[in-house]
């Protein structure tokens, strides 16, 4: 399970501030939101969120780790996350966290990993709802035959992230 991941039924009321801040990153600006327990959302762009716009120790830590990732100095993340989703979504997102840097898996691979081999379309939907891209590496999931499909920030960003990790997206086919 991703560090700090909770299902809705076992999550007590949020305590403390929920905030976000917008950080400049190599692929563009990222809006990073956090509760007092961890990162709750990463959005591509300067996305106004319905919460105070101010940095926190957690958003700053995530931004630092993301900068290190984009500089090629970090392959894993240890910033806490506070994922909220259905039990199935959490299962998929936790599975995504097991995909090593520089490797990919198909939607069918993830479905098989969570012992639901026929649920590859549902895995794709959960992947699409991932609130913490890059840290929960949904960009490492590809379609059958190595096809680059389905990335909320667009295929161009997905290609950029895979290339950053040393992969040749054309060779995945």
Q: Which residue has the tokens 């716009």?
A: 53
Q: Which tokens go with 110? A: 């993830």
- State the burial class of residue 123 (Cβ atoms within 10 Å of its Cβ: 0-12, 13-18, 19+): buried
Of the candidates 16, 90, 95, 26, the residue with the CA atom closest to the CA atom of residue 56: 16
Q: Which residue in 138, 153, 162, 164 is the catalytic one?
A: 138
Buried b (16+ CB within 10 A) or exposed e, 11-33: eeeeeeebbbbbbebeeeebbbb
Q: Check if 138 is active-site.
A: yes
Q: Which residues are catalytic, by number?
A: 138
């Amino acid at each position: 399970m991703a560090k700090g991941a909770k299902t809705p039924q076992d999550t007590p009321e949020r305590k403390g501030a929920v905030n976000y801040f917008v950080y400049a990153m190599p692929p563009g600006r990222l809006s990073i939101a956090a509760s007092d327990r961890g990162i709750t959302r990463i959005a591509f762009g300067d996305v106004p969120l319905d919460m105070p716009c101010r940095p926190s120790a957690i958003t700053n830590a995530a931004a630092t780790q993301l900068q290190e990732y984009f500089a090629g100095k970090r392959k894993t993340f240890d910033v806490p996350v506070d994922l909220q989703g259905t039990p199935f979504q959490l299962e998929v997102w936790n599975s995504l966290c097991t995909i090593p840097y520089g490797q990919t898996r198909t939607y069918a691979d993830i479905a098989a990993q969570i012992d639901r081999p026929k649920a590859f379309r549902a895995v794709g939907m959960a992947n699409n709802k991932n609130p913490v891209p890059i840290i929960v590496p949904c960009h490492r999931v590809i379609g059958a035959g190595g096809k680059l499909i389905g990335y909320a920030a667009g295929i161009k960003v997905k290609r950029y992230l895979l290339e950053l990790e040393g992969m040749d997206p054309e060779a995945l086919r």
